[in-house]
C-alpha cells in the first residue's frame, strides 16, 4: 500500500509559529505531526509515501530523509507554486497504479489506517468526523454510507483521511485543484464515494491555542 501526504500548505493560521517551521513539523506531545502520522501509516503496513512540499519544504526533507528511519520509502513532489489538495496529487498520480491513502499530514488522530478499504466499484472512501467549533457547519453529508453534498439535516467535517482510486485523476499536472470540490464531489454525485463517521480521537489544529491545549492534555496523561 502507498500513501500520499499533503504537506505543501503555508499554515497561515498558525503564524508566527509557521514563519520558520512548516506546520507538519510542529510538535505535539514531543513528536512532529507528520512523524506521528508516518509511524501510524507504517503500523497499517504502508510501505511507500509520497509527500508534496512547498513552504519551507527543505526542512521537511531534512527531517524525514528517505524514510528509512521510519521503515518507509519516502519521496517528494516539490511544488514551485501551490497546486491545491487535488492538484498536488494529480502531479504525482503517475506513481500510483492501485488505490492509495491520502492524508493531511498536519492532523492528529488515533484512526487506524489499516481499516481503510475501497470497494471495487467505487472511486473513493472518505473518513468524516463530527463538526468542531472551527467548522460548525461541516463540509459534506453521509447518507446510507455514501458521501453527498452537504444537506441541511446532516453534515460532517472531512477529516483529511481518504483512500482513492487513481482513476479519479485525469487532469493537467500543473492545474490547481481542490480535492473535494473538483475531484471527489463530481464522483460523489454519481454515487461513487463511500464514507464513514469516525468518533475517535481527532484534532485539526488550526490555532496556536489548539496546539497548546492538545500538548498540555497529552503531557498530563
In this prediction, residue 129 carries a pLDDT of 97
In this prediction, residue 153 carries a pLDDT of 78
At 112, which CATH number? 3.90.550.10
Cell of 191: 454515487
- Looking at the 3D structure of the chain, how many domains does it have? 1
Containing structural domain, residue 88? 2-220
pTM for this predicted structure: 0.94
Mean pLDDT by 10 residues, the chain (221 residues): 94 85 93 97 97 95 97 96 94 96 95 95 97 86 94 90 97 90 96 97 90 89 71
Please state whether beta strands 124-129 and 157-164 pair in parallel, antiparallel, or not at all (unpaired).
antiparallel
Please state whether beta strands 193-197 and 202-204 pair in parallel, antiparallel, or not at all (unpaired).
unpaired
In this prediction, residue 12 carries a pLDDT of 81
Task: Kindly tell me the burial class for residue 15, based on how many C-beta atoms sit within 10 Å of its own C-beta (0-12, 13-18, 19 or more).
Answer: exposed
β strands within the chain, DSSP E: 2-7, 27-28, 31-32, 48-53, 73-78, 100-104, 107-109, 124-129, 140-143, 146-149, 157-164, 193-197, 202-204
Using alpha carbons, list the distances in angstroms from residue 64 to 32, 59, 69, 166, 215: 11, 9, 8, 25, 22
Distance CA 51, CA 154 (A): 33
In this prediction, residue 135 carries a pLDDT of 84
Q: DSSP labels for 167-210? A: GG--S-TT----IIIIIIHHHHHTT-EEEEE--SSEEE--SHHH
The three-class DSSP label of residue 93 is helix
Amino acid at each position: 500500500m502507498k500513501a500520499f501526504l499533503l504537506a505543501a500548505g503555508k499554515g497561515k493560521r498558525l503564524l508566527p509559529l509557521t514563519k520558520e517551521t512548516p506546520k507538519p513539523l510542529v510538535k505535539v506531545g514531543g513528536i512532529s505531526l507528520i512523524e506521528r502520522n508516518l509511524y501510524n501509516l507504517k503500523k497499517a503496513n504502508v510501505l511507500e509515501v509520497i509527500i508534496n512540499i512547498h513552504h519551507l519544504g527543505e526542512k521537511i526533507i531534512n527531517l524525514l530523509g528517505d524514510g528509512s528511519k521510519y521503515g518507509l520509502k519516502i519521496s517528494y513532489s516539490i511544488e514551485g507554486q501551490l497546486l491545491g489538495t487535488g492538484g498536488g496529487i494529480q502531479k504525482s498520480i503517475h506513481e500510483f497504479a492501485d488505490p492509495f491513502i491520502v492524508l493531511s499530514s498536519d492532523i492528529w488522530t488515533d484512526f487506524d489506517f489499516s481499516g481503510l478499504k475501497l470497494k471495487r466499484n467505487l472511486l473513493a472512501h472518505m473518513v468524516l468526523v463530527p463538526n468542531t467549533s472551527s467548522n460548525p457547519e461541516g463540509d459534506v453529508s453521509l447518507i446510507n454510507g455514501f458521501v453527498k453534498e452537504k444537506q441541511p439535516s446532516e453534515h460532517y467535517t472531512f477529516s483529511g483521511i481518504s483512500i482513492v482510486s487513481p482513476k479519479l485523476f485525469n487532469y493537467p499536472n500543473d492545474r490547481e485543484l481542490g480535492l473535494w470540490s473538483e475531484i471527489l464531489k463530481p464522483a460523489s454525485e454519481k454515487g461513487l464515494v463511500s464514507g464513514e463517521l469516525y468518533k475517535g480521537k481527532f484534532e485539526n489544529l488550526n490555532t496556536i491555542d489548539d496546539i497548546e491545549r492538545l500538548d498540555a492534555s497529552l503531557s498530563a496523561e
